[in-house]
Amino acid sequence: MERTDNVITTYMERSLHSALKTHFCPDETCHEVKMGRYVADACDGKTIFEIQTGAFGRLSGKLNFYLENTDLDVVVVRPVAKNRRIFWLDTESGEMQRSARPSPRHETLASGLADLFYVRELIGKKRLSFCFVLMDVNEVRLLDGYGKDKKKRATSVDRLAGEIYSLTYVHSIDDVRDILFPLLPDGKFSREELSKCLKLGGLKLWSAQKLLLETGLLSSERDGKRLVFKKIDCGS
């Protein structure tokens, strides 16, 4: 996407996706590489990089194909938006304004890890890793919504990469354990406590809970009408 000061002139590939692809594989001749019936976001001859800015739900087939039909390492890159700021684009004037305040929505590493539930059968596969990029993300929305300020239910058209704070790699279930277990209490705890500790709710909380249960990191039992959980230590 091309920008001049506060005017966006062209929307092509989503900017966040493109920026991460370039960060992990700077050589643009290695971008969009045909791999059988799939197209890899980037491949430098040693590693295939898949930039996943959305859900992991439809990723299994593609990753299995790479692992079964190449001898390359495979890295799935997932941005985690620590801080967000909204930029508003006036479709008539082309001017873009930054929101006075940052968005109250924040992602944590736990939020990114929750997405692993959808590819849980692949965690620990040889040559496959998941890289979670903790970073700032700026979202561009059109002033085409409802209300006097035209911001309600406005159209999101792009996301821009901001500062990168850290890269966290997950190669195995042990890595998930090492990241999440320090956040969880010892002994038995409720779903409400799980939500508070991981700072997750809704579908994200459900995904994290299912991931931890189905990979054997948590056990669960009924305590009256409540479902309670307990961490399962290594070797137990």
Please write the tens of the pLDDT for every residue from 101-126. Answer: 777 778 999 999 999 999 999 999 99
Q: List, in order of start, the domains of the chain with CATH numbers.
A: 2-171 (no CATH), 185-236 (1.10.10.10)
Give the integer Cα–Cα distance in Å for 97 and 101: 12
Q: CA angle, 41 as apex, 39 and 42 as ends, to 5°?
A: 110
pLDDT > 90 fraction of the chain, expressed in percent and rounded:
69
Amino acid at position 94, single letter: G
> According to the model, what pLDDT value does residue 9 have?
34
pTM of the model: 0.86
Quote the tokens at residue 110.
Answer: 């736990």
Of 122, 213, 135, 205, nearest to 170 (Cα)?
A: 122
Could you report the per-residue pLDDT of 175-187, keeping only the tens digit for each? 999 999 999 999 9
| Confidence label for 6 from pLDDT (cuts 50, 70 and 90) | very low
Q: Can you list the pairs that 225-232 forms with residues at least 24 positions away whose Cβ atoms lie under 8 Å? A: 226/190, 226/191, 227/190, 227/191, 228/188, 228/189, 228/190, 229/188, 229/189, 229/190, 229/191, 229/194, 230/187, 230/188, 230/189, 231/181, 231/184, 231/186
* Backbone φ and ψ of 119, nearest 5°: -130, 30
Distance CA 32, CA 28 (A): 9
Q: What is the mean pLDDT of the chain?
A: 89
Q: Which helix (H) or strand (E) holds 191?
A: helix 191-198
22 forms bridges with which residues in the sheet?
A: none
